[in-house]
Amino acid sequence: MITQIIIPNEIQEKIIAHCLKNYPKEACGILAGKGGQAEIIYPLINISENPELCYLIDAKEQLKVFKEIRAKSLEITAIYHSHTHTEAYPSAKDLELAFYPDSFYVIVTLADKNKPKIRAFKIIEGKIKELNIKEKETNG
């Protein structure tokens, strides 16, 4: 059973920067890589009618990113977004929109903008499992 996702520090920093840049709107994006390790970040545009409360990725933009990921022989490692005023934990809306059971869901809380926190989850059929985030792969 998968218990961790690997997100290098530089990618974590880019995720947080993207989330802070979009504040007070929720930011969203996709991480691509292999074997549960993020290698590339794709910051996307939140097209939700209520971007301060939820996110929605543009279908055309998402398809373009999916094609690019496939062309690079990578996988969708995670879908990320921010919570601007609540904890980094899947909301009821997040559960409703968790369409990719093979993907991880990464949430950044900006409730304290000076100390953003990143957490990762697996969401399958409405069940939430938190995962450890490692900065790099370790042997053993």
Dihedral of alpha carbons 129, 130, 133, 138, sign: negative
The CATH number for 55's domain is 3.40.140.10
pTM for the whole structure: 0.93
Instruction: At 9, give phi and psi (nearest 5°).
Output: -55, -40
* Closest to 91 (Cα-Cα) out of 47, 36, 26, 44: 26
What confidence score (pLDDT) does residue 101 get? 85
> Is residue 92 in a domain?
no
> Is residue 20 in a domain?
yes
Q: Which residues pair with 60 in a beta bridge?
A: none
- 113 phi-psi bin (left φ>0, alpha ψ -120 to 50, beta other): alpha
Domain count, the chain: 1
> Is residue 101 in a domain?
no
pLDDT tens string for the chain (140 positions)? 578 999 999 999 999 999 999 999 999 999 999 999 999 999 999 999 999 999 999 999 999 999 999 999 999 999 999 999 999 999 999 999 898 888 999 999 999 999 999 999 999 988 999 999 999 865 54
Rounded CA separation 23/9 (Å): 21
> Is residue 26 in a domain?
yes
Tally of helices (H runs) and strands (E runs) in the chain:
3, 7
> Is residue 22 in a domain?
yes
Question: Which H, E and C letters describe 84-118, residue by residue?
Answer: CCCCCCCCHHHHHCCCCCCCEEEEEECCCCCCCEE
> Is residue 125 in a domain?
no
Terminal Cα-to-Cα distance of the chain (whole angstroms): 16
> Is residue 62 in a domain?
yes
> Is residue 66 in a domain?
yes
Range of the domain at 71: 1-78+109-116
